[in-house]
């Protein structure tokens, strides 16, 4: 949590000239931590550890995408705390990963004889810091600041975060006195059940996690309220945030429903899910291709509906041809495939129009305007009337700042 206050003070008080360089340095440090994590995990795997394809791919994707988006946002808008928060989350997670892996390698394999083992133990609980930082991203999106009404709740949360960080470090320092400060998975011993002099951290830990959950819920409610009351650019920004969160949740649900946590499907879903949220945040903050979200949503929904319908038709036709019509399996599958292929384009066009009518209204209205102009053009004979009608159609379809028609004499 101290990283948030530092980033905010740096963003507001320091000259913006050196901030892009600072973003580059922090980004390189995050990627270097990722490289260290891969090396340590490789050494542990050689010593008999087991690797997980999904977790490895998800970890690399998380580090690269969060770091890249954070650096780009921080360089483009150095006074917006959003970029620094993304970098802080990525850096906390990567330092935690390399610290936990190195501490496990040191104390579980080499019995504490490796250098910098104590530093690795202190870095290992960085996941908790990242967990406390994520709610701030939800609340502060996209401008990185809120009105005066949120000032004291955020100050209280930051104060709790400082106490939380002090408690985590206190547990880590106490664990250094143990012969085995980390368990077999690299987690800090005593962090989840602090005792003795650090028993006070138990209630603070529960309160910190609860406050993070409450702040996320408040941030979601704030974004929904802003979406309902705003329009234009701000609404598109919130759509990008919501789209990234929806893809993240959907990928995790698919991963859990299919039970493919350690396979290729799990690797792909984890990676796509972890990439979607920071990409949505980055596009929303930078306003890059901001108005593409409606087209993206409409295409995603239309192809998802189309895929479901075609799969249902294919399965139904296979069952009908093989059971009711008593055709051979190969003939039934071939006939069902041809029928599904023949239905693809007509269904795609109809579904796309229905989805565009609801989720991509601008594109739907533009197509309707062009179609109406084309119908009127068949009966038009006067050039002045055609020119006026063309200008009107172009203006209503694409809304240019200026439009004119030049006709050669």
Give domain status of residue 141, yes or no. yes
Give domain status of residue 103, yes or no. yes
> Using CA atoms, how far apart are residues 31 and 60, in angstroms rounded to an integer?
9
Model confidence pLDDT, tens digit, residues 390-407: 666 666 665 566 677 676
Q: At what angle do helices 329-359 and 293-319 cross, to 10 degrees?
A: 150
Under 8 Å between Cβ of 139 and 219: yes
Q: Which residues of 37-49 are buried (b: 16+ CB within 10 A; e: fewer)?
A: bbebbeebeeeeb
SS (H, E, C) 392-404: HHHHHHHCCCCCC
pLDDT of residue 6: 47
User: Are residues 326 and 197 both part of a single domain?
Assistant: no
Give domain status of residue 404, yes or no. no
User: Are residues 26 and 118 both part of a single domain?
Assistant: yes
Model confidence pLDDT, tens digit, residues 192-246: 888 888 899 999 999 999 999 999 999 999 999 998 888 778 888 998 898 888 8
Integer-rounded Cα Rg, in Å, for the chain is 28
pLDDT of residue 17: 58
Identify the CA nearest to 99 among candidates 25, 198, 182: 182
> Using CA atoms, how far apart are residues 106 and 119, in angstroms rounded to an integer?
11
With 0.85 as the threshold, say if the pTM is over it: no
Give domain status of residue 405, yes or no. no
Place of tokens 């996941």: 127
- Last-in-domain residue among 230, 258, 288: 288
User: Are residues 268 and 198 both part of a single domain?
Assistant: yes
- Last-in-domain residue among 288, 309, 343: 288
Give domain status of residue 407, yes or no. no
User: Are residues 44 and 165 both part of a single domain?
Assistant: yes
pLDDT band at 263, cuts 50/70/90? low
pLDDT of residue 381: 60
Q: Locate 248 and state its tokens.
A: 């993240």
Q: Locate 201 and state its tokens.
A: 């951290």
Q: Locate 392 and state its tokens.
A: 């009107």
Under 8 Å between Cβ of 40 and 105: yes
pLDDT band at 365, cuts 50/70/90? low
Distance of CA 278 to the CA centre of its chain: 4
Under 8 Å between Cβ of 344 and 310: yes
Give domain status of residue 238, yes or no. yes
- Which residue segment(s) compose the domain that 318 sits in? 299-357
Under 8 Å between Cβ of 59 and 96: no
For residue 204, what is the domain's CATH number? 1.20.1070
User: Are residues 257 and 370 both part of a single domain?
Assistant: no
pLDDT of residue 314: 78
Identify the CA nearest to 172 among candidates 161, 160, 162, 182: 182
Tally the domains of the chain.
3
User: Are residues 201 and 275 both part of a single domain?
Assistant: yes
pLDDT of residue 316: 79
pLDDT band at 27, cuts 50/70/90? very high
> Using CA atoms, how far apart are residues 143 and 285, in angstroms rounded to an integer?
7
> Using CA atoms, how far apart are residues 103 and 117, in angstroms rounded to an integer?
6
User: Are residues 86 and 156 both part of a single domain?
Assistant: yes
> Using CA atoms, how far apart are residues 224 and 128, in angstroms rounded to an integer?
27
Give domain status of residue 294, yes or no. no
> Using CA atoms, how far apart are residues 216 and 62, in angstroms rounded to an integer?
20
> Using CA atoms, how far apart are residues 138 and 165, in angstroms rounded to an integer?
20
User: Are residues 199 and 303 both part of a single domain?
Assistant: no
User: Are residues 135 and 238 both part of a single domain?
Assistant: yes
Cis status, amide bond into 153, omega within 30 of 0: no
Give domain status of residue 408, yes or no. no
Q: Locate 91 and state its tokens.
A: 């850096």
User: Are residues 277 and 351 both part of a single domain?
Assistant: no
User: Are residues 153 and 255 both part of a single domain?
Assistant: yes
**CA angle (343, 348, 267) in 5-degree steps:** 105
Is the pLDDT at 159 greater than 60, yes or no? yes
Handedness of CA 324, 327, 330, 334 (dihedral sign): negative
Is the pLDDT at 14 greater than 60, yes or no? no
pLDDT of residue 10: 47
User: Are residues 350 and 376 both part of a single domain?
Assistant: no
Model confidence pLDDT, tens digit, residues 99-119: 988 998 888 888 888 898 889
Is the pLDDT at 31 greater than 50, yes or no? yes
pLDDT of residue 83: 92
């Amino acid at each position: 949590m101290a990283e948030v206050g530092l980033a905010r003070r740096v963003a507001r008080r320091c000259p913006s000239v050196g901030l892009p360089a600072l973003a580059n340095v922090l980004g390189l440090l995050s990627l270097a931590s990722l490289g260290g994590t891969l090396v340590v995990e490789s050494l542990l795997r050689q010593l008999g550890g087991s690797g997980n394809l999904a977790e490895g791919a998800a970890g690399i994707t998380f580090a690269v995408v969060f770091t890249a988006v954070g650096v780009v946002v921080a360089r483009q808008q150095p006074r917006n705390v959003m970029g620094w928060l993304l970098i802080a989350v990525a850096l906390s997670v990567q330092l935690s990963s390399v610290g936990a892996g190195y501490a496990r390698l040191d104390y579980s394999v080499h019995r504490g004889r490796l250098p910098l083992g104590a530093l690795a133990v202190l870095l290992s609980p960085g996941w908790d810091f990242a967990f406390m930082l994520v709610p701030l991203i939800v609340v502060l999106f996209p401008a990185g600041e809120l009105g005066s009404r949120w000032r004291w709740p955020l100050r209280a949360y930051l104060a709790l975060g400082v106490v939380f960080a002090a408690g985590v470090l206190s547990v880590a320092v106490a664990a250094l006195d143990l012969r085995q400060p980390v368990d077999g998975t690299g987690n800090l011993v005593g962090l989840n059940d602090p005792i003795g002099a650090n028993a006070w951290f138990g209630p603070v830990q529960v309160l910190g996690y609860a406050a993070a959950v409450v702040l996320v819920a408040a941030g979601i409610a704030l974004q929904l309220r802003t979406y309902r009351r705003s329009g234009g650019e701000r609404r598109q920004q919130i759509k990008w945030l919501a789209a990234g969160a929806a893809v993240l949740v959907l990928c995790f649900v698919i991963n859990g429903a299919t039970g493919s946590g350690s396979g290729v499907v799990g690797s792909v879903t984890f990676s796509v899910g972890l990439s979607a949220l920071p990409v949505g945040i980055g596009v929303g903050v930078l306003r890059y291709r901001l108005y593409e979200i409606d087209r993206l949503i409409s295409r995603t929904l239309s192809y998802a509906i189309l895929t479901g319908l075609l799969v249902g038709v294919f399965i139904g036709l296979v069952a009908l041809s093989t059971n009711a019509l008593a055709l051979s399996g190969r003939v039934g599958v071939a006939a069902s495939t041809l029928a599904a292929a023949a239905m693809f384009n007509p269904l795609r066009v109809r579904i796309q129009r229905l989805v565009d009518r609801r989720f991509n209204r601008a594109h739907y209205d533009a197509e309707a305007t062009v179609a109406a102009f084309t119908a009127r053009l068949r009966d038009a004979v006067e050039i002045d009337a055609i020119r006026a009608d063309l200008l009107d159609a172009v203006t209503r379809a694409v809304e240019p700042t200026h439009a004119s028609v030049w006709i050669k004499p």
